[in-house]
């Protein structure tokens, strides 16, 4: 399988913040604060109210690389891609997301936990296999086991990944990781605690 051109950028970044908040305003704040702290790649989940509109707004920024997460169907995929999403993520295997991604030149990440599911994700056209929920199914040890029998697969573990453990996932064979609550703590965002969010971003960059 030939790597998608975007994969090199994602590997170099090592960490993709997963922005999942209850309001679009909190999501926009999270992206702004993390951007100020030096991060440039963001996955905006479809659980954010009117997420495609926010993707459109952020995708217009030349220094940002924006993708859509928790994409439930092809129609939503097309909306996100039209808004400027450069990659799509689903924590399950959905072959209907492949055609819109290919037409737009976007990268596709599909979710899997077991070797059988990983093979299904690849057969469906995934460029990256999102291992979710990573921590609760075995953490870095699980990634190492998958990578041992499925060499060459680009794994992105997400779920329970934080600044203190993400390097262990990379050492175990992950291409890069998705990091949610550790970087996008909505309680701290609501409280206006930009310093805490910036500190988490710095911890990620210093560890990498």
| Mean pLDDT of the 162-168 span | 97
In the predicted structure, residue 174 carries a pLDDT above the cut 80:
yes
pLDDT at residue number 161? 97
Which CATH number is correct for 7-207, 2.60.290.11, 3.30.750.200, 3.20.20.70, 3.90.1300.10?
3.20.20.70
| Mean pLDDT of the 6-24 span | 98
| Mean pLDDT of the 154-163 span | 97
In the predicted structure, residue 157 carries a pLDDT above the cut 70:
yes
Q: Is 95 left (phi over 0), alpha (psi -120 to 50) or beta?
A: alpha
| Mean pLDDT of the 116-142 span | 98
Residue 179 phi/psi, 5-degree rounding, is -130, 120
Neighbours of 195 (CB within 10 A): 10
Instruction: Report how far residue 151's alpha carbon sits from residue 143's, in angstroms, rounded to the nearest whole number.
Output: 11
Residue 168 phi/psi, 5-degree rounding, is -65, -35
| Mean pLDDT of the 181-192 span | 96
In the predicted structure, residue 64 carries a pLDDT above the cut 70:
yes
In the predicted structure, residue 1 carries a pLDDT above the cut 90:
no
Q: pLDDT, tens digit, for every residue of 76-122? A: 999 999 999 999 999 999 999 999 999 999 999 999 999 999 999 99
pLDDT at residue number 208? 73
How much is the mean pLDDT over the chain?
Answer: 97
pLDDT at residue number 6? 97
């Amino acid at each position: 399988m030939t790597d998608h051109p975007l994969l090199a950028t994602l590997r170099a970044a090592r960490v993709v913040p997963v922005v999942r908040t209850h309001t679009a305003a909190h999501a926009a704040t999270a992206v702004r604060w993390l951007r100020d702290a030096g991060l440039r790649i963001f996955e905006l989940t479809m659980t954010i109210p009117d997420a495609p509109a926010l993707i459109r707004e952020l995708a217009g920024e030349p220094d940002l690389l924006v993708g859509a997460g928790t994409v439930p169907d092809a129609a939503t995929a097309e909306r996100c891609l039209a808004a400027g999403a450069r990659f799509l993520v689903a924590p399950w295997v959905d072959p209907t997301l492949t055609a819109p991604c290919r037409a737009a030149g976007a990268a596709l990440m599909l979710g899997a936990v077991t070797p059988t599911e990983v093979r299904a994700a690849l057969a469906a056209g995934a460029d990256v296999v999102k291992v979710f929920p990573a921590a609760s199914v075995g953490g870095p040890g699980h990634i190492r086991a998958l990578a041992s029998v499925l060499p060459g697969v680009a794994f992105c573990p997400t779920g329970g990944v934080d600044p203190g453990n993400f390097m262990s996932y990379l050492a175990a064979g992950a291409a890069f990781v998705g990091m949610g609550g550790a970087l996008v703590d909505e309680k701290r965002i609501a409280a206006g605690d930009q310093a805490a969010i910036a500190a988490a971003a710095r911890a990620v960059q210093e560890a990498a």
